[in-house]
């Protein structure tokens, strides 16, 4: 892609995100979401491969539908209450439509089917944008309207997302699809705590973005898109494979790694809110995700292919290791001891 075009699309992504997260009016928030959608489409389809074009088409249709629902929800609320302010969402019908729209935007179950297919049709760097930056504006809308939303509906969506994200990721062999279902599962943790502690949900999203960035950049550096090529990564880059194992275990939420912090705090907050059954269910469902994280870590660090595979083995990686990978991987594994400071900042 031409550098000038890439610069324009990247600037548009930043502009759309800034407009959405800083607006109090529904029309401005909707405009920011539309700018984001239109800016990411060329980045998804830049390879001109049929899978990339299919992914861009699916992404456009889903995001356009969700944006239409957001606009319809805000118009219904303005019609009934005369308010266009995002914080003044009081109509029950508007709250229900908005919850559905944000679930479609984020890829929460049962509106999750587009996300693994879109992620599979894109490059790893574009997939990183879709998993982190593109989820920030709708999550911001979820935070700003959290006190108006139905807690029972959000809890059901969260438990369903955690269950399906873990269950459907078990039999995947493509790393991008595994990371897509991992994202769906993590979004369930954010959705269940949003109403009770928006700051905790925001902390969860920040740490999720940190660990996701580390995993995507490591996979991009070792040029791995499926488990069979991941098995040879230890021979090519043992240091990156070890860092990948630590970040995956942090993804799974194992102590004493960084990913344990949000799960621990969310379960503690749910227990304080007298939602111990929901906390128990979501904690048990996260064991499904733990299984495929362990499988990925096992393939990256312990398993070597026992026979000759059909793909070309790249014994030397062509991409120089970026210093940001080392920083992100270190933070993904070591932020738990300074967690009290993180909580005071958030």
Query: Could you tell me the residue ranges of all domains in the chain?
Result: 3-345
Confidence category of residue 181, pLDDT binned at 50, 70, 90: very high
Structure confidence by residue, pLDDT tens digits, 106-137: 999 889 999 999 999 999 999 999 999 999 99
Which pLDDT score, from 0 to 100, does residue 256 have?
85
Which pLDDT score, from 0 to 100, does residue 26 have?
93
Which pLDDT score, from 0 to 100, does residue 150 have?
87
Confidence category of residue 340, pLDDT binned at 50, 70, 90: low
Q: What is the mean pLDDT of residues 261-275?
A: 92
Structure confidence by residue, pLDDT tens digits, 280-328: 999 999 999 999 899 888 888 876 655 455 555 555 555 555 788 888 8
Is residue 89 pLDDT above 90, yes or no? no
Is residue 344 pLDDT above 80, yes or no? no
Q: What is the mean pLDDT of residues 168-178?
A: 90
pTM for the model stands at 0.90
Which residues does residue 85 pair with via DSSP β-bridges, in sequence order?
A: 25
CA distance 22 to 125: 26
Structure confidence by residue, pLDDT tens digits, 251-265: 998 888 899 989 999
Q: What is the mean pLDDT of residues 73-91?
A: 89
Q: What is the mean pLDDT of residues 159-188?
A: 93
Is residue 83 pLDDT above 90, yes or no? no
């Amino acid at each position: 892609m031409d550098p000038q075009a890439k610069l324009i699309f990247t600037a548009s992504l930043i502009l759309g995100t800034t407009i959405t997260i800083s607006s109090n009016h529904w029309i401005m928030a909707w405009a920011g979401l539309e700018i984001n959608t239109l800016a990411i489409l060329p980045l998804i389809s830049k390879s001109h491969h049929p899978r990339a074009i299919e992914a861009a088409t699916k992404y456009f249709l889903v995001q356009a539908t969700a944006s239409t629902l957001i606009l319809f929800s805000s118009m219904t609320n303005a019609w009934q209450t005369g308010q266009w302010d995002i914080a003044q969402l009081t109509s029950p019908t508007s709250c229900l439509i908005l919850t559905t729209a944000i679930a479609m935007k984020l890829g929460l179950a049962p509106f999750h089917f587009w996300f693994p297919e879109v992620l599979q049709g894109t490059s790893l760097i574009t997939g990183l944008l879709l998993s982190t930056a593109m989820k920030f504006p709708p999550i911001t809308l979820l935070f700003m309207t959290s006190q108006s939303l139905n807690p029972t509906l959000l809890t059901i969506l969260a438990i369903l997302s955690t269950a399906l994200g873990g269950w459907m990721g078990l039999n995947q062999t493509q790393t991008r699809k595994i990371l897509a279902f991992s994202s769906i599962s993590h979004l369930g943790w954010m959705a269940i705590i949003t109403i009770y502690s928006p700051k905790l949900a925001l902390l969860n999203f920040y740490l999720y973005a940190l660990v996701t960035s580390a995993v995507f950049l490591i996979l991009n550096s070792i040029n791995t898109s499926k488990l069979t090529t991941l098995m040879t990564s230890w021979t090519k880059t043992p240091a990156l494979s070890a860092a990948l194992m630590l970040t995956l275990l942090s993804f799974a939420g194992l102590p004493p790694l960084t990913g344990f912090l949000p799960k621990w705090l969310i379960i503690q907050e749910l227990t304080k809110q007298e939602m111990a059954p929901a906390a128990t269910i979501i904690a048990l469902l996260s064991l499904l995700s733990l299984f495929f994280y362990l499988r990925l870590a096992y393939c990256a660090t312990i398993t070597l292919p026992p026979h000759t595979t059909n793909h070309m083995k790249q014994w030397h990686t062509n991409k120089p290791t970026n210093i940001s990978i080392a920083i992100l991987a270190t933070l993904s594994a070591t932020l738990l001891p300074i967690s009290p400071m993180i909580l005071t900042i958030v």
